[in-house]
Amino acid sequence: MKIDHTQPLEYSTDQNQLNILGFWIFLGAEIMLFATLFTAYFTLEGRTGSGPTPADIFEITPVLIETFVLLTSSFTIGLGVHAMRLGRKNAMLTFFGITLLLGLGFLGVEIYEFTHYYHVGATYQTSAFTAALLTTLGTHGAHVTLGLFWGLFIILQVKKRGLTPENANKSFIFSLYWHFLDVVWIFIFSFIYLKGMMM
């Protein structure tokens, strides 16, 4: 494996560069995936049948907590990558750990939110609106869940094998994924929750 020391560790081999570009292209596909979910949501948000409307079920407090937690986790993973570039392995692991804890917190609030919807009569089967809402949130939530496992595996690997070019590459790509989930959340926050509560 040829290592190019003029580059940051995560870019330092040919395969690493391929992985990063490939992941960006995957994120392009993810943009379309979430765009499709948003299309469904916008089309169906007014079609509530006999069920509740968005304004009936949305609550500002859990949404604010989720937003703040996820924004902060996006910040900490950015700091994690920065620490990694400085070669500060322990600082990096700490930031990654904080990120995952915040992600776990986000997921907890989201689970609370889903049970709340269930109790106010907005289940998966209630109407086209609830199905579109829960599928969009659920897809994002599933991404976060997957990210928690992935991030945990990366922490374990960095701990065990150190900051190798391979691990740095994995960590960087994971940070891209995590930031992307934050971007998606910004759109969910703005155009599902705030828009729904405004109407």
Partner 1 sequence: MEFFERFAIPHPSPMIYASMVAIALVSIGILVGITYFKKWGYLWHEWFTSVDHKKIGIMYLISALIMLFRGGADAILMRAQLSSPEMKLLDAQHYNEIFTTHGVVMIFFVVMPFIFAFMNLIVPLQIGGRDVAFPRLNALSFWLFFAGAMLFNISFVIGGSPDAGWTSYFPLAGNDFSTSVGTNYYMLALQISGIGSLMTGINMITTILKMRAPGMTLMKLPMFTWSALITNVIIVFAFPVLTIALLMGTTDRLFGTNFFTTGNGGMDMLWANFFWVWGHPEVYILILPAFGLYSEIISTFSGRNLYGYKSMVGSMVLISLLSFLVWTHHFFTMGQGAFTNSIFSITTMAIAVPTGVKIFNWLFTMWKGKIRFTVPMLYSVGFIPLFTIGGVTGVMLAMSAADYQYHNTMFLVAHFHNTIIPGVLFALLAGLTYYWPKFFGFMLNEKIGKSTFWLVAVGFVLTFFPMYITGLDGQARRMYTYSEETGFGPLNMLSFVGSALFAIGFVTLVYNLYYSFKNSPRNIGSDPWDARSVEWATHTPIPEYNFARLPQVASSEAFWDMKKKGHKLFTGELKEIHMPNNSGVPFVLGIIFFIAGFSFVFALWVPAVVAVIGIFVCMALRSFEQDHGRHINVKEIKEIEAQYEEVPGNEDRSHTTTRV
Partner 2 sequence: MKELFPAKQVMGFVFSLILTAVALLVYFTNMSFAVGMTILLVTAFIQAFLQLVVFMHAGESKDSSAIYTNIVYGIILAAITIFGSLLILIWDM
Q: What are the residues binding partner 2 (CB under 8 A)? A: 11, 17, 20-21, 24-25, 27-29, 31-32, 34-36, 38-39, 42-43, 60, 64, 67-68, 71-72, 74-75, 77-79, 81-83, 86, 88, 91, 175-176, 179-180, 182-183, 186-187, 189-191, 194-195, 197-199
The binder of partner 1 chosen from 7, 36, 115, 190 (CB under 8 A): 36
Contact partner, 89, from partner 2, partner 1, none, Cβ < 5-8 Å per class: none
Helix (H) or strand (E) segment spanning residue 165:
helix 165-188
* Residue 188 near residue 83, CB atoms below 8 Å: no
Rounded to whole angstroms, the Cα distance separating 144 from 106 reads 9
Residue 43 or residue 190: which is nearer to partner 1 going by CB? 43
* Residue 54 near residue 45, CB atoms below 8 Å: yes
CB of 199 to partner 2, least distance (A): 7
Q: Dihedral of the CA atoms 42, 44, 46, 51 (nearest 10)?
A: -140
Give me the helices (H) in 45-164, please: 54-57, 60-85, 89-119, 128-161
The DSSP 8-state label assigned to residue 5 in this structure reads T
Residues in the site for partner 1, rule: CB under 8 A? 1, 14, 17-18, 21-22, 25-26, 28-30, 32-33, 36-37, 39-40, 43-44, 47-51, 124-129, 131-132, 135, 149-150, 153-154, 156-157, 161, 166, 170
